[in-house]
Amino acid sequence: MILATLQHLGQRGMQVFERLGRASILLSRILGGIHTLVPRFSLFIHQIHSVGVLSLVIIVVSGVFVGMVLGLQGYNTLVDFGAEESLGVVVSLSLVRELGPVVSALLFAGRAGSALTAEIGLMKATEQLSAMEMMAVDPVHRVLAPRFFAGLFSMPLLAAIFSAVGVLGGFFVGVGLLGVDDGAYWSQMQAKVDFYDDIMNGVIKSIAFGWVVTWIAVFEGYDAVPTSEGVSRATTRTVVYSSLAVLGLDFILTALMFGD
């Protein structure tokens, strides 16, 4: 009984490592194919459109709302200490350090990651990837690489946009509705938000998240069982794994950056 359980656990463990290995090999092939992006630059641009630009709406709308909620919550807390002038700092630091990268990465996983997996998985299921291989075109370079790099490129921009609109949302609620001083909102923000410690660290986070989410999405699609059920499972896995990876990675990165 115990032996069987152990055996089962061992098998699962092996499977996890095997998939990790395959994912790493795929990643190295994608990175090794970066030069093939040059003659296919239009594909890369096209993917930035479908991965990045099309995610813009959900990012902007969520950013505004998150910023507005931060403004409201921050004000209610700060006003007890008579510190509502600092609302700009609270809103912007929360966004730039944490919520911007994390929430936009989660939204990105749901919007763009799942679409990437489904698209690549379906191409596999309908033998389009096989056909490319037989035409001596490497699908890793032709299909996967442009999507991966487009994701990598778009994610930090999306996070930055998210934070920027969030700050505006906080401004709208704090200054516009609750009567915080206009000048104080901006000047305190300017004084307290550090470029390297806060903004750059946020950017580093969003790059890391973009990397992980697109890597998972592209791998799950490429590794999907080539049936409709397999593709649907792969899509679910992309969303679940990349959300967990983002949150876990966020903790690690935060501990490293702001830990001491």
Partner 1 sequence: MSDNNNDIIVRIRNLSFSRGSRRIFDDIDIDIRRGSVTSIMGPSGTGKTTLLRLIGGQLRPDAGQIFFDGEEVTGASRRRLFELRKRMGMLFQNGALLTDMDVYDNVAFPLREHTDLPESMIRDLVLMKLEAVGLRGARHLMPAELSGGMARRVALARAIALDPMMIMYDEPFTGQDPISMGVLVRLIREVNDSLGLTSVLVSHDIDEASAISDHIYLLSGGKVVAQGGAEELRNSASEWAQQFMQGLPDGPVPFHYPASSFRDDLLSGGEGERP
If one asks whether residue 25 binds partner 1 (CB under 8 A), the answer comes out as no
If one asks whether residue 85 binds partner 1 (CB under 8 A), the answer comes out as no
Which member of 6, 14, 131, 247 binds partner 1 (CB under 8 A)?
131
Which member of 37, 83, 132, 199 binds partner 1 (CB under 8 A)?
132
Provide DSSP, the chain: -HHHHHHHHHHHHHHHHHHHHHHHHHHHHHHHTGGGGTTTHHHHHHHIIIIIGGGHHHHHHHHHHHHHHHHHHHHHHHGGGT-GGGHHHHHHHIIIIIIHHHHHHHHHIIIIIHHHHHHHHHHHHTTHHHHHHHTT--HIIIIIHHHHHHHHHHHHHHHHHHHHHHHHHHHIIIIIIS---HHHHHHHHHHH--IIIIIIHHHHHHHHHHHHHHHHHHHHHHHS-SSHHHHHHHHHHHHHHHHHHHHHHHHHHHHHHH--
Restricting to residues 141-180, name those near partner 1 by CB under 8 A: 142
Gyration radius of the chain over CA positions: 21
In the complex, the smallest distance separating the C-beta of residue 20 from partner 1, rounded to whole angstroms, is: 22
Which member of 126, 187, 227, 236 binds partner 1 (CB under 8 A)?
126
Q: Residue 1 or 134: which CB sits closer to partner 1?
A: 134
Which member of 135, 195, 251, 260 binds partner 1 (CB under 8 A)?
135
Provide DSSP, 174-218: IIIIS---HHHHHHHHHHH--IIIIIIHHHHHHHHHHHHHHHHHH
Task: Pick the stretch among 73-81, 124-132, 169-177, 211-219 that binds partner 1 (CB under 8 A).
Answer: 124-132
In the complex, the smallest distance separating the C-beta of residue 241 from partner 1, rounded to whole angstroms, is: 26
In the complex, the smallest distance separating the C-beta of residue 141 from partner 1, rounded to whole angstroms, is: 10
If one asks whether residue 254 binds partner 1 (CB under 8 A), the answer comes out as no
If one asks whether residue 125 binds partner 1 (CB under 8 A), the answer comes out as no
In the complex, the smallest distance separating the C-beta of residue 41 from partner 1, rounded to whole angstroms, is: 14
Which member of 134, 195, 259, 260 binds partner 1 (CB under 8 A)?
134
Q: Residue 38 or 135: which CB sits closer to partner 1?
A: 135
- Among 101, 102, 67, residue whose Cα is nearest residue 87: 67
Which member of 73, 128, 232, 254 binds partner 1 (CB under 8 A)?
128
If one asks whether residue 123 binds partner 1 (CB under 8 A), the answer comes out as yes
The count of C-alpha atoms lying within 13 angstroms of the C-alpha of 186, restricted to the half-sphere facing its C-beta, is: 5
If one asks whether residue 226 binds partner 1 (CB under 8 A), the answer comes out as no
If one asks whether residue 133 binds partner 1 (CB under 8 A), the answer comes out as yes
If one asks whether residue 137 binds partner 1 (CB under 8 A), the answer comes out as yes
Q: Which residues lie near partner 1 (CB under 8 A)?
A: 123, 126-128, 130-138, 142
